[in-house]
Structure 1
């Protein structure tokens, strides 16, 4: 859809054998708003700036340093947008040496700096932590503040980010890889809630059998099950630039603990300690079987797994006792849609498809503890909720324990029984708390990044308050950075 609106892709209007050209398309929509828009885009009277979806390909386009790239877009070395997106410290870094989050912030900055009438942002939240997502949204909103005649179109799977960014919402429904329908514009709250409900009232059409329910709420009591894993206080230094201190803690059977913190605070490092990939001198962690889903799912060239079909990978890597278990097939394989991927080669899977296979594989081992790093990456909104349901159902039915690293606030609050909060300076020093109640931990984390969330009255989903709004000021004054209803223990 973005490619069509940007004038880069000609819609075929269903004429597969003899596709029309732009004059035919514009004529087809004579008298409508879309005709006026496309005419202006194709004539050059409407300039379009696009932030691409795959920022990892940005180094192919942008050569030189971050400062060079910003200068080419018309920014001074100390420009406000570079400061807003924390790019000043990266000014002398070569673009092809940037991480995914740094590339995303650079791509957002460059797009905002361009002189255009329409700005398009394809998944601006990818690779960013919560604080960076809020900063990216505020930078995008400034594009409109500078010139009210401009328009912004954004695509994202983080509903909290879209909620904070948007004035209106259009949601898409249909059948993946077959057809898609774009809804009419709705107000932000109504549009997101209708999408979650799976029902279009104006069309009297239900496109999803079951609503997407987040069940967000703080437990009245902590979990009372047996301790699954206990770890002592840990301290380590990585090189000469980063120190991490971890308070002692424990995780119980059937419990999910979510790690909250900015990028560069050592959350993935904790996972490496847990799985034995890193060791702390003079400290021995209790021996536990740990199943890990890594943060990055990349199939290296020449990897034997890349040439295998999905079914072959599942048969080879999943424990035989689970493969034969119909409950496992119903609670993991079926909801993740792995059966549809069986005939496909791993090398030909998209990022979202690889993520779903990785989740199936991590739960294909009966271990004591599960470490899952960013399960939302590359998944759409519906798949994120399904992934949450799969994680919670598996952990509880098998009475296991899980640590989750996640930046999507909705997923975090849906999954978490308790949270570990990371505080400090990214890339310099960090302190990780012990596991603490969800409401207490979310309040501590959100206060550290100066963001407040309220609860949607219809769905219970978390919604970001605009900085300085009445609700934002009221919650900060009361010390309630995160509002939730209390529910009983599971």
Structure 2
């Protein structure tokens, strides 16, 4: 029988002892029967409880009694403690293992939010000296080196702490860039940081010519992302860390970014890419490291896998080298092309709204959209390059913009809209719970189907007591998706709901979207660049093509396979389905499969 250790974590942001009367302490059976308490009030935590893990029996009573869901307790095999790298505090998050640094290789890091990826990157960049679990004393470099002596990490940390390795870190939340760089054009910024004298190459690879004279304060999300990537590439470093480099980039830009990193990064350096886009990691990474565990409680880093195998193991939910099951069910991809001839919508749906041929002029940009219609219970995906008119079309549907030519019947219906760029301050409320109550109080009832299908499914119930302005990027995204979906509406419109959320949450969002459409008999439009979410959620697809910032053309909704084929042909890319999992995979330009699919005219290829 394996000996177990307890990991007890209290989220002190959620803990409010003044409002609950401390039922976790009052009902703890150990506190009543033993001289040494398992839970007690801590003066260091200013009147909040602490749990002594060596005395706790993991009965689960405190977890059930806590009205704020601030306590989580799990059991782990004692052997895993040998790999403990860092713990923030008593009853804080525990990190086991680290991604292995491999010189000259791009190491992809894949896993859920809250499982330690950011902490690991801070440790590998020298921003945090790991305490090896001893949070009571100051961390020691000598202890770290002794811990890793005889491993690949020893030379890495020895050089890092001796300042022999320079770290370049592309941050995760590029929306913060304008607050740090308040003025200056893209060209001026690139001139200042061009340590490697590669500015011309970086601009060409990332297609930045049209944004060079723009002030940083007016850049779009995609332009900010390209600027952040360009700045990182121009820095002269030995360790490069790219945290979510795919956010706000369309499919073509993601491929360009991947090619740019492969071509322009110094390949004698250590390179880590943290991202949730499986297609990007599949194309870019040489090796994959998977993190798993219980988000917010503990995270474990796997051994190194080959890229293709690692992604398949992650989707299957089982890691063979660790003999570890990390998910209850495997993730499988739908084959839209092999569905029945008549879909759910064609069998049961009625037309909810329609639009004529539309034309809208905005400054020097002209958008033309073909006529179309959407049925009750249907999910329509909208895909295409950035700055091509997708969001403009959505704004026409919600009534924010009036078309110069044509009409839409959607403005006569009740609409619920999640924008692309999210505000952290809402005038009418402070916490997540307050905001959701203002929208639909009934949806917060645990017995209500909306609570189960949206609030619980997205994990928003654990965010109730958090203030909106303190949410992480992924938490903020899930909050906005939830508040959009719990509204009583005929049409829901979600602009880039996959930004900053991990694969598991992308699937949860996709399932919630589908459920709301079916159960409310509503229509939902989803604008996104993420193939996984689109592949799971939508019934039909609209493609937008044209010349970014100049002119856009939106096509009528059609089948997913046909729409993807048209889009990929326009972008000059070919994508195949993996034979085993069905997941989409980008073909390398000029490869045999790329040439073969082009000859067939099958830019989105599947095998029956």
Q: Shorter-chain TM-score category?
A: over 0.9
Q: Which residue of 1 aligns with 2:131?
A: 12
Question: Is the Cα contact below 8 Å between 1:319 and 1:365 reproduced in 2?
Answer: no
Aligned to 1:93: 214
2:237 is aligned, of 95, 113, 116, to 116
Structure 2 CA distance, aligned partners of 1:23 and 1:96?
44
* Partners of 1:315 and 1:323 within 8 A in 2: no
The corresponding residue for 1:294 is 419
C-alpha separation between the residues in 1 aligned to 2:179 and 2:158? 31
Q: Is the 8 A contact 1:217 1:485 kept in 2?
A: no
Pairing 1:270–2:367 present: no
Instruction: Name the SS for the 1:250 alignment partner.
Output: strand
Q: State the superposition RMSD in angstroms.
A: 2.0
Measured after TM superposition, the shift of residue 420 of structure 1 is 0.9
Query: TM-score if structure 2 supplies the norm length?
Result: 0.75
Shift of 1:393: 1.9
Residue 464 (structure 1) aligns with: 586
1:73 aligns with 2:201: no
Q: Is the 8 A contact 1:112 1:139 kept in 2?
A: no
Q: Say if 1:77 and 1:91, in contact at 8 Å, map to a contact too.
A: no
Q: Are residues 1:238 and 2:352 paired?
A: no
Q: Which residue of 1 aligns with 2:489?
A: 367
- Decide whether aligned partners of structure 1 residues 198 and 89 sit closer, same or farther in structure 2, where only a CA change above 3 A counts: same
Bigger Cα displacement from structure 2, 102-111 vs 223-232 = 223-232
Q: Match for residue 204 of structure 2? A: 83
Report whether the alignment pairs 1:192 with 2:317: no
- 1:193-249 Cα shifts (integer Å, max 9, x gaps): 11122222222222222223332432343541322221111111112x111111100
- Report the counterpart of residue 434 of structure 1 in structure 2: 556
Deviation at 1:89, TM superposition (A): 1.9
CA distance in 2: counterparts of 1:365 and 1:3, whole angstroms: 39
Greater mean deviation of Cα atoms: 221-230 or 449-458: 221-230
8 Å CA contact 2:199–2:234 kept in 1: the answer is no
Structure with bigger RCO (C-alpha 8 Å, 6+ apart): 1
Q: Choose which of 279, 297, 302 in structure 2 pairs with 1:178.
A: 297
Quick one: which of 326, 329, 333 aligns to 2:451?
Answer: 329
Structure 2: gaps spanning 5 or more residues: 1-119
Counterpart among 529, 547, 564 of residue 407 in structure 1: 529
In 2: Cα distance, 1:115 partner to 1:140 partner: 14
SS in structure 2 of the partner of residue 126 of structure 1: coil
Give the match for residue 313 of structure 1: 435
Q: Which residue of 1 aligns with 2:504?
A: 382
* C-alpha deviation, 1:182, in angstroms: 0.6
Instruction: Calculate the TM-score normalised by the size of structure 1.
Output: 0.93
2:568 to 442, 446, 449: 446
- Give the Å deviation of 1:354: 1.9
Does 2:230 match 1:105? no
How many angstroms does 1:323 deviate by? Answer: 5.4
1:211 partnered with 2:333: no
For the 8 Å contact 1:51–1:120, the answer to whether it is kept is yes
> Is contact 1:236–1:243 with CA below 8 Å preserved after alignment?
yes
Note the residue ranges of structure 1 that are not aligned, 5 or more in a row.
none
Aligned to 1:162: 281
The structure with the largest alpha-carbon Rg is 2
Q: Distance in 1 between matches of 2:176 and 2:484?
A: 28
Whole-Å Cα distance in 1 between the matches of residues 443 and 162 of structure 2?
63
* 3-state DSSP of counterpart to 1:170: strand
Cα deviation, residue 24, structure 1: 2.1
Cα 1:310–1:58 shift into 2, 3 Å: closer
**Paired residues, what number?**
480
Matched, 1:416 2:538: yes
Greater displacement, 437-446 / 336-345: 336-345
State the 1:43 CA deviation: 2.0
